[in-house]
Structure 1
Amino acid sequence: MRYLLLIGVFLCQTAGAKPKYDLGKHLQPTMFAVTMVMIHDVVNPPAASRFYTYCLLGAHEIIARQQKGITSPASFVRDFKPLELTQKEPYDYQVAALYCILETGRLILPSGSMLEEDQQKLLSQLKKEGYSESALQQSVNVAQMIAKQIVTYAADDNYRKLSARLRYRPTKRDGFWYPTPPAYIEAIEPHWRIIRPMVIDSCTQFKPKSPVTFSKDTTSEFYKLAYEVYRVGNTLTEQQRFIASYWDCNPFAVNTSGHMSIGFKKISPGGHWMNITSIVTAQAKLPFDKALQIHSLVAMTLMDAFISCWDEKYRSNRIRPETVINRYINVRWQPLLQTPPFPEYTSGHSVISTAVAELLTYMLGDKFAFTDNTEILFELPEREFKSFRQAAAEAAISRLYGGIHYRDAIENGQTQGKAIGEFIIVRLKKAGILPAF
């Protein structure tokens, strides 16, 4: 009987079914380490969503192998199959999942080598918490094995083909997007529509209604939209200014003074929502496995929402308010926020924030109040929200306050994002993914 008991313990350890501790407290720092590298690299918003997704995908698969309550991504992610794992020695699957996030980031991010220091810090901390050198090494082996396969899967999503596409050439014709001051940065990811989605069927599945037609006629609907941006920008309250700045999420804003230009690196819209996800899963005191799964689902939702939004941006290719107002209303007018370097319609923050809010509402509830401290790093105070939908609605309207979107791009973007979020939720339900509570 004694020998049978020992064999049973060994098998349990090999399966990784019962980790030494719940490592939930390490999840937010691990995710933030990835975010900081993206800030360093000035990763654009669509690309950031892709990197978050792949960093979490392998970790998600690792925990799904060990916990019946966690559904494998292979059940609902396009072209994704269960990964091979030949590890025979005992390993802690939560350690492996955490390390896999960093290892995948190390392999796919431009400055991924910066995460090596975070990997060592994580292992050192886990040693202090009682993990043996052997247990950690076996877990690292699993993480490295899975991360390599994730990188292989990611290589087939058409990302590498982007650089081979013809360079995007903007047109100065009326109504079409053109680079804006102060840096006149060229178009960001004009071919992002070719990226393979994670859950949605195609980039065109959630094509929004057509934008209001451009017109210089002062009685036209378009002119009224442009003039609203101008009017609102000239009469902003302090609260509206703060809301616009809070949701700015511009990875690289450029300020000029004379002949000198200074760039400021900030978190991306997706990075902001990933940090909110870390905040709320910790607040809900979710176990590591459920918290990591929600992070992974949020990242996938972001990625699909950006693919859908960017497809429309470069189809409608609509002119930004700043350009319209400077040409036809007031040549000296400037928006509160720096205009992003890509076409206007639909509003990216409106699409992705609404989609993620729908997902988080499904997972955590409609009245989940939380305090967001993401922007403290950028010298902005924390904000309290009564629900995810309230936060998403504020993020959407912030684009009008900031002077970078017309109202129809915001409202139709919200409709587009809601449809994406609802579709993903239906897919998750079919795969057996239930709310956290």
Structure 2
Amino acid sequence: MKILSRICSLLVLTGLFLSCGEEVNPNFQEEVAQPEFYHRSVKKLTDVIVHDIFSPPQAGRIYAYSSIAGYEAFAAGDPGLNTLAGQIPHLQPLPQPADVSGDVEIAYPIAAVAAQLKVGKSLIFSEEKIEAFEDEIFKEFAAIKVPAATLQASIDYGHAVADHVIKWYDGDTYKQSRTFPKYSISADPSKWQPTPPDYMDGIEPSWSKIRPFALDRSDQFKPLPPTKYSEEKGSDWWTEVEEVYNALKTEDDSEREERTAIAQFWDCNPYVSHHVGHVMFATKKITPGGHWINIAAIAARKAGADFKTTTHAYAMTSMAMHDGFISCWDEKYRSSLVRPETFINRHLDEDWRPLLQTPPFPEHTSGHSVVSRACAVVLTDIFGDDFAFTDDSEVEYDLPERSYNSFLEASEEAALSRLYGGIHYRPAIDYGVTQGEAVGKHLLSRVQPRANLTKKK
């Protein structure tokens, strides 16, 4: 047996492909470093988020922690990437490869996929869907003829990183917030009321208490307040209401069609209910954060981004959206402003319905405006100011693709879509963009994944 062991070692050291009956691909490290493996893992998580119907803030949290886990597992083997531990003040140093694998070689792209999937699986309901995908993708890695010991060590390391992240996120107040009080409906006509057709309770009224990544506190970038409520015709408030009411009443057919297309493209409502007589059914779609995660994928593919840049892009985009939702929800439940649908039905037209179904939470500021801008700011930092792209995120939901000259241009259209959709007044959109810009830039000032870039002040 000792002689056989020495022969096996010699075969490996001399670079032959067969080691004790195991066929090994000498180029496996290059082949597993194809970023498409990671793109597919993130897309699988998106599909499960859609299936399980998570709210936009919840989905942002899932993307953030799973993307950080994938990034950290890959960064451990790439000197060009900085760990986020310490940059995110409450993230403690992560396990080191040697602590898990000993002297066995690790394929860090495999570790990244394993970490991202395990954390994602821990945060969704349909675990079996992720487990089936894990079986599939790990078999693909094995088919590349990664040495069995390396494949197992890589998965083990990814899982060790995931366990660290799971323990970390367990302290972000999410679990405690499940028992916090629901939104209390007020008799004040300026305050938010549940809207048709389901009259759902306000979603996540305590989301501002969730721990952010870069923000010092949830109200750090508190936006300007909404326009003073008024039922007097000719007031500033009334003018803003009429802008929403008349947004799709233009006599120019092409303009009306374009506004409708913009609103529908950026709808991103994870649960739209339909009532036909006594029958109710739902349409599931990606969340606003899911849309921007997909834009990150589109940009990375178009740029030919390597695994390093791909994990970097997903991590920064998801952290921006998570902090963006915390900042936005802090204002939503502070101002607790009535939605256009409620006011218009009471005072202008009782039969009016917005083009889009009104989401179940207060109006000011617009979540699309905040989150889209925050994500656009960090993607611009990674891929450039004039990065033109075609967004096909909604094609699987039977909507045509749209093209943009930059991420910021796309974020501006996403924000304006909420006016055309009939669910936001102008200030929520404009102030939301400003708010999101501040969140994104603050994240860039605090967190710098790339080791070859100077950290911004």
Asked if these proteins are the same fold (TM beyond 0.5), I'd say: yes
Aligned to 1:223: 238
Aligned to 2:412: 393
Q: Is the Cα contact below 8 Å between 1:27 and 1:278 reproduced in 2?
A: no
Q: Show CA shifts across 1:349-384 (max 9, x none).
A: 000001111111111100001111110110011111
Q: Is the Cα contact below 8 Å between 2:88 and 2:447 reproduced in 1?
A: no
Query: What's the Cα RMSD here?
Result: 1.9
Matched, 1:361 2:380: yes
From 123, 126, 130, the counterpart of 2:145: 130
Matched, 1:403 2:414: no
Structure 1 residue identity aligned to 2:408: R
From 300, 320, 333, the counterpart of 2:319: 300
Deviation at 1:135, TM superposition (A): 2.1
Q: Is the Cα contact below 8 Å between 2:214 and 2:447 reproduced in 1?
A: no
Q: Is the Cα contact below 8 Å between 2:312 and 2:449 reproduced in 1?
A: no
Structure 1 residue identity aligned to 2:164: Q
Q: Secondary structure at the match of 2:385?
A: coil
Deviation at 1:112, TM superposition (A): 2.7
Aligned to 1:162: 177
Q: Is the Cα contact below 8 Å between 1:44 and 1:268 reproduced in 2?
A: yes
Matched, 1:209 2:220: no
Structure 1 residue identity aligned to 2:280: S
Deviation at 1:6, TM superposition (A): 5.5
Matched, 1:331 2:354: no
2: CA distance, partners of 1:365 / 1:108 = 32
Residues 13-162 of structure 1: pairs in structure 2 closer than 5 A = 19-21=29-31, 22-85=33-96, 86-87=99-100, 88=102, 89-162=104-177
Deviation at 1:152, TM superposition (A): 0.5
2: CA distance, partners of 1:181 / 1:155 = 35
Q: Which runs of 5+ in 2 are unaligned?
A: 1-8, 15-27
Structure 1 residue identity aligned to 2:193: Y
Matched, 1:291 2:310: yes
Aligned to 1:15: none
Deviation at 1:434, TM superposition (A): 3.5
2: CA distance, partners of 1:431 / 1:291 = 12
Q: Is the Cα contact below 8 Å between 1:108 and 1:151 reproduced in 2?
A: no
Q: Show CA shifts across 1:1-53 (max 9, x none).
A: x99x969xxxxxxxxxx934322121211101000110011000001010011
Change (3 A) 1:121 1:25: same
Q: Secondary structure at the match of 1:323?
A: helix
Structure 2 residue identity aligned to 1:44: S
Q: Secondary structure at the match of 1:318?
A: coil
1: CA distance, partners of 2:75 / 2:92 = 13
Larger-gyration structure (1/2): 2
Q: Secondary structure at the match of 1:174?
A: coil
Deviation at 1:129, TM superposition (A): 2.3
Deviation at 1:133, TM superposition (A): 3.0
Q: Show CA shifts across 1:201-258 (max 9, x none).
A: 1101000011111110112111110111001133371111011000000000011111
2: CA distance, partners of 1:61 / 1:394 = 33
Deviation at 1:429, TM superposition (A): 5.0
1: CA distance, partners of 2:451 / 2:332 = 34
1: CA distance, partners of 2:276 / 2:324 = 36
Deviation at 1:294, TM superposition (A): 1.3
TM-score by length of 1: 0.93
Aligned to 1:13: none
1: CA distance, partners of 2:189 / 2:65 = 40
Deviation at 1:156, TM superposition (A): 0.2
Aligned to 1:268: 287
Matched, 1:247 2:301: no
Q: Secondary structure at the match of 1:255?
A: strand
Q: Is the Cα contact below 8 Å between 2:371 and 2:436 reproduced in 1?
A: yes
1: CA distance, partners of 2:242 / 2:87 = 44
1: CA distance, partners of 2:404 / 2:277 = 40
Q: Show CA shifts across 1:47-76 (max 9, x none).
A: 101001111112211222211111111142
Q: Show CA shifts across 1:377-408 (max 9, x none).
A: 10011111110011000000000000000001
Structure 1 residue identity aligned to 2:47: M
Q: Secondary structure at the match of 1:74?
A: coil
Q: Which runs of 5+ in 1 are unaligned?
A: 8-17
Change (3 A) 1:211 1:427: same
Matched, 1:346 2:365: yes
Q: Secondary structure at the match of 1:371?
A: strand
Residues 413-432 of structure 1: pairs in structure 2 closer than 5 A = 413-428=432-447
Matched, 1:374 2:393: yes
Q: Is the Cα contact below 8 Å between 1:73 and 1:80 reproduced in 2?
A: yes
Q: Secondary structure at the match of 2:272?
A: strand
1: CA distance, partners of 2:277 / 2:452 = 55
1: CA distance, partners of 2:383 / 2:450 = 18
Q: Mean alpha-carbon deviation: is it higher for 57-66 or for 345-354?
A: 57-66
Q: Show CA shifts across 1:317-346 (max 9, x none).
A: 000000000000000000000000000000
Q: Is the Cα contact below 8 Å between 1:359 and 1:421 reproduced in 2?
A: yes
Deviation at 1:430, TM superposition (A): 9.8
Q: Is the Cα contact below 8 Å between 2:241 and 2:425 reproduced in 1?
A: yes
